[in-house]
Structure 1
Amino acid sequence: MADLVFCEPTELYNILNQVTKLSRLTEPNYLCLLDVRSKREYDESHVITALRVKKKGNEYLIPESVDLECVKYCVVYDNTTSSMEMSVNTNEDNNDDDTDDLVLGAAVEYGKILTQFTRSPVYILKGGYECFSGLYHFFRTQKIIWMPQELDAFQPYPIEIIPGKIFLGNFTQACDPKVQKDLKIKAHVNVSMETGPFFAGDRDKLLHIQIEDTPESNISPFFRHLCHFIGIHLHLGSVILIFSTRGISRSCAAIIAFLMHHKEETLKRSWAYVKKCKNNMCPNRGLVAQLSDWEKIVLGDSITNIFEPMY
C-alpha cells in the first residue's frame, strides 16, 4: 500500500509548471489531480486539469480514465483539509450533545482509498482548494475537458523557489506581462545575454549578469553582488524573478549560489532543493565548478564532491 502524504500549495504549483520540451502536463501518466468537492463547487471553479471525483451512493468511485498504478503524482484536494487527523463534525440538527462525530476530511478519506491502487505516494493538498486558489488564482478554471493540443499550448509559469518571494524562470516568462502581474514580480535577476523589457535602466530593480551559457563563462565574480541584491529585495518584501534564456543552467546556478550563502548550507543540499523544485535544471560543468569554489568561500571548506551524484 502506498503512503499518504501532504502536498504544500507550492509543491502542487511547481508540479503543474514542470517542463521538458513541452509542459509535463502533456504526459498521460505525469499528474492525476482529483477534486472531491461537490459538483456545484467544482463547476464554479477548480484547479486546471482536475477531475471531479464522483460518488455512487455514499461510496467514492475510482476514475476509470486514469491508470493510477503508473501515475507519478496523484494529488487529491477538498475545500480546506489541513490535517490527517479526525475532526469533530457537529450535528446541529440534533439537540443531543453526544451526537458529534469524528470524521476525516474528504480528501484524506478518498486518499486512503487510492493508496490501494497506486505505487507512488498519494498527495493531499494542504489547505485544500481555498488555500491554493487564494495563492494562485490564475490556475482557477471552469474548463472540464482538456484536449491534447490545448495542453501542448499550455504556458507554464516560473518555478517557485522560496514561496511568495523568489521564482525561477526563462526569458520568455520574464517578458510576459501576465506572468509579472500574476506573480507580483517587483525585481529581476537576468542571467543571460538578452535584455528584457522590464526594469530596464533601474539598477534598484534589475541585476543583469551578462554571461554566455558555456563552461568558460565566469559567473563567480557576481556571486556577492547577486546575494546582496536578492537579500535587499527579500528584506523589502519584493518578489524576485531569476531567469536565463532557457531557465535551466545559468539562472539555476545563480539561485543555488544564493541559497548556499543565505542558508549557509552545502552545494549538495542547495542543489537537491532546487532540483526538487525544478526537475530539468542542469547548470553546465563550468558553473558547477564555480559553485564548488563558492562553497569553500561560504563554508570555509569544500564539502561537496561534484564528481559524485548530488541528488
Structure 2
Amino acid sequence: MSGLVLCEPTELYNILNQVTKLSRLTEPNYLCLLDVRSKREYDESHVITARLVKKRAGEYLIPESVDLECVEYCVVYDNNTSSLKVILKGDSDDDNTDEGHQGIVLGAAVECGRTLTHLARHPIHILRGGYESFSAMYHFFRTQKIIWMPRELDDFQPYPVEIMPGRIYLGNFRQACDPKIQKDLKIKAHVNVSMETGPFFAGDADKLLHIQIEDSLEANITPFLRHLCHFIEVHLELGSVILVFSTMGISRSCAAILAYLMHRNEQTLKRSWAYVKKCKTNMRPNRALVAQLSEWEKVVLGDIVTDILDPLY
C-alpha cells in the first residue's frame, strides 16, 4: 500500500516533459493523470493527457484501462486543494453533474487519492493548488482534448524542464529555436553551451552567453564557469527568465546548471546532482565534465567533497 504526497506544480510540469528518445508520455505505465473536477469543468479545459474521474454512489470510478500497480506516477488534481487534509466531503450519489460535485470541490483530490493508495505501489501525488494553480503557471498545457492516440503522443514535443520555477529552464537546441516555447515560458536570455548558433539574441551579449565547446571528452567548460554564474545572477536580479541549453540538453547544459547551483547554494556536487536529476531524469554530463565539476566543487567549497568514482556519476 502506498501513501499520499503533495506534488508541486513545477514537479508535474517536469513529469510531463521527461524524455528518452521520445516523450515519456508515450509509455503506458509512466503517468496516470486524474482530474476529479466536474465534467463541465473538465470539458472546458484540463491538463494535457488528464482523464476524468467520475463519481457514482459515493465512489470514484477509475478508468478501466488504468493499472495503478504498474504506473510510475499517479497524479490527482481538483480545483485548488493545497493540503492533504480533506476539507469538505461530497454528499451526492449522482454522476459527474455540476450539482453532484458542488460538495467536493475542496479536498476532492485527497478523497480520491485515499481510495487509490491500496491499488498502487508508488505514492499517489496530489497536485498542490490543483488545476487553478497549474493552469495559471502553465496555461499552454491546458487542453480540451480527451483522447490521445499513440501517434499523437509520439509527436508530442516536450518543453524544457524547470530548474528554478519560472526563472531557469534547461533544454535542448530544438527547444531553444522554437518561438512558441520562448513566448510561453517568457524567455529573455539564453545560455548556449554548444557549437551551434541559435536564432534568438544573436549578437546581443547582454542576453546571450554562448559557451562554444564540443560534446567530447576534450571539452573544457572550466574557464567559462565564473562568467556563467555571473550572467545568470545578473538576469535573475533583472527578473529575466533564462534558458540554458546544449544540442541534446543532456551533457554540456546539465554541467552548466550543476555548476551554477553549486555556486548559488554553496553546495556539493552530489546535492546539486540529485536535484537536477530529479528535474531531468536523462541528464548525463560526460566524464570529463564531471571531473571539472569536481574541481569546481573545490573552488566553491574549498575542498572536494563528492566522490565522483561512485557509479552514480
In the superposition, the TM-score normalised over structure 1's length comes to 0.94
Q: Which residue of 2 aligns with 1:84?
A: 84
Counterpart CA distance in 2 for 1:84 and 1:141 is: 26
Question: Alpha-carbon deviation of 1:87?
Answer: 2.7
Q: Does residue 119 of structure 1 match 2:121?
A: yes
Counterpart CA distance in 1 for 2:290 and 2:225 is: 13
Asked if the contact 1:44–1:142 (Cα under 8 Å) also holds between the matched residues in 2, the reply is yes
Which aligned runs of 4 or more in structure 1 are off by greater than 4 angstroms?
101-104
Q: Which residue of 1 aligns with 2:225?
A: 223
Helix, strand or coil: the match of 1:241? strand
Alpha carbons of structure 1 residues 5 and 64: separation in structure 2 relative to 1, 3 Å: same
Counterpart CA distance in 1 for 2:26 and 2:60 is: 27
Q: Does residue 289 of structure 1 match 2:283?
A: no
Deviations 1:90-112 (A, max 9, x none): x9xxxxxxxxx999700000000
Counterpart CA distance in 2 for 1:103 and 1:244 is: 43
Question: Alpha-carbon deviation of 1:8?
Answer: 0.2
State the number of aligned residues.
301
Helix, strand or coil: the match of 2:65? coil
Q: Which residue of 1 aligns with 2:173?
A: 171
Q: Which residue of 2 aligns with 1:59?
A: 59
Asked if the contact 1:85–1:104 (Cα under 8 Å) also holds between the matched residues in 2, the reply is no
Q: Which residue of 2 aligns with 1:11?
A: 11
Asked if the contact 2:171–2:243 (Cα under 8 Å) also holds between the matched residues in 1, the reply is yes
Q: Which residue of 1 aligns with 2:40?
A: 40
Helix, strand or coil: the match of 1:29? coil
Q: Does residue 143 of structure 1 match 2:145?
A: yes
Deviations 1:244-286 (A, max 9, x none): 0000000000000000000000000001100000000000000
Alpha carbons of structure 1 residues 214 and 102: separation in structure 2 relative to 1, 3 Å: closer
> Sequence identity, in percent?
78
The one-letter code of the counterpart of 1:254 is A
How is 1:237-276 mapped onto 2 (pairs within 5 angstroms)? 237-276=239-278
Asked if the contact 1:32–1:74 (Cα under 8 Å) also holds between the matched residues in 2, the reply is yes
Consecutive unaligned residues in structure 1, runs of 5 or more? 92-100
The one-letter code of the counterpart of 1:273 is Y
Deviations 1:161-220 (A, max 9, x none): 000000000000000000000000000000000000000010000000000011111000
Counterpart CA distance in 2 for 1:122 and 1:88 is: 19
Alpha carbons of structure 1 residues 17 and 260: separation in structure 2 relative to 1, 3 Å: same
Asked if the contact 1:86–1:103 (Cα under 8 Å) also holds between the matched residues in 2, the reply is no
Q: Which residue of 2 aligns with 1:192?
A: 194
The one-letter code of the counterpart of 1:199 is F
In the superposition, the TM-score normalised over structure 2's length comes to 0.94
Helix, strand or coil: the match of 2:114? helix
The one-letter code of the counterpart of 1:190 is N
Q: Does residue 71 of structure 1 match 2:82?
A: no
Asked if the contact 1:84–1:104 (Cα under 8 Å) also holds between the matched residues in 2, the reply is no
The one-letter code of the counterpart of 2:49 is T
Q: Which residue of 1 aligns with 2:282?
A: 280
